Amino acid sequence: MKIYHAKDYQEMSRMAANLLAAQITLKPDSVLGLATGSSPLEVYDRLAMRCRQKDLDFGRITTVNLDEYKGLAPQDPQSYRYFMDTHLFSRVNIAKNRTFVPDGLEEDGAKACENYETILDSLGPVDMQLLGLGHNGHIGFNEPADAFPALTHQVDLTASTIDANRRFFTSASAVPRQAYTMGIGSIMRARKILVIVSGSAKARILKEAVNGPISPLVPASILQLHPDVTVIADEAALSLF
């Protein structure tokens, strides 16, 4: 695992955007695994800017997102599909039909997850997977648990995740209680993984994930076993190293 130190959120975002841009340039038909949340916002801004300047071409890129809230429609401003459309897909020359997000409107959890696994299988390994790190060590919505779930599955969100995500909703009670997420196995199949972490609130969990025992209680700790992981974290997130 390589750990790069960035001064702050802006520098972290610049470095991560550079790695993703290099991936797109070197392999223009890459499959990119993408995340939502606050961490990648500036990364997406930077990629969109480079695309606008004709410095980057998304014309042959395919994307798969990690997760989606169960019950939210694509047009719902809180859905992850809406987030991706707003922050990236509508700003770059990507073919919309090659952007995949689990179907939050599919009420049958087993079916939603099976369908997403079929899509992942048909695309082959993700070339570069971008991840944020949850305050409780989750990646995607793989919450601390007794075992590492392999495939896309339905999860009950933990109180800590609901609390962390309430800032995007009118209140904690408006945060959906369930989500569909790629499993740890699906994430670990990626050829390269890029993790971005910012802020002192993530310092303790980042240290546990990188240096602690590999345990499903800290889902991100599994990344220690992946052969090609790059972590880009800012000074505040690295303050306990």
Site for ligand F6R in 17-36 (CB under 6 A): 35-36
- In the residue annotation, 143 being an active-site residue is answered as yes
Minimum Å distance from CB 63 to ligand F6R? 12
Residue 57 is encoded by which pair of tokens? 């071409």
Number of residues that bind ligand F6R (CB under 6 A): 15
Cβ 119 vs Cβ 100: under 8 Å: yes
Site for ligand F6R in 165-204 (CB under 6 A): none
Minimum Å distance from CB 31 to ligand F6R? 17
- In the residue annotation, 135 being an active-site residue is answered as no
Print the binding letters for residues 94-133 with ligand F6R: x by CB under 6 A, - otherwise: --------------------------------------xx
Handedness of CA 206, 212, 217, 219 (dihedral sign): positive
Using CA atoms, how far apart are residues 31 and 8, in angstroms rounded to an integer? 28
List the catalytic residue out of 65, 103, 117, 138: 138
Site for ligand F6R in 64-83 (CB under 6 A): 66-67, 80
Residue in the shown chain whose Cβ atom is closest to ligand F6R: 132
Minimum Å distance from CB 53 to ligand F6R? 26
The three state secondary structure string of 69-94 is ECCCCCCCCCCHHHHHHHHCHHHCCC
Q: How far is CA 52 from the centre of its chain?
A: 23
Minimum Å distance from CB 38 to ligand F6R? 4
Nearest CB to ligand F6R, comparing residues 53 and 170 = 170
- In the residue annotation, 76 being an active-site residue is answered as no
List the catalytic residue out of 42, 106, 127, 143: 143
Nearest CB to ligand F6R, comparing residues 52 and 177 = 177
Residue 217 is encoded by which pair of tokens? 């209680």
Nearest CB to ligand F6R, comparing residues 127 and 143 = 143
Print the binding letters for residues 206-225 with ligand F6R: x by CB under 6 A, - otherwise: --------------------
Active site residues: 67, 136, 138, 143
Binding site for ligand F6R (CB under 6 A): 35-39, 66-67, 80, 132-134, 138-141
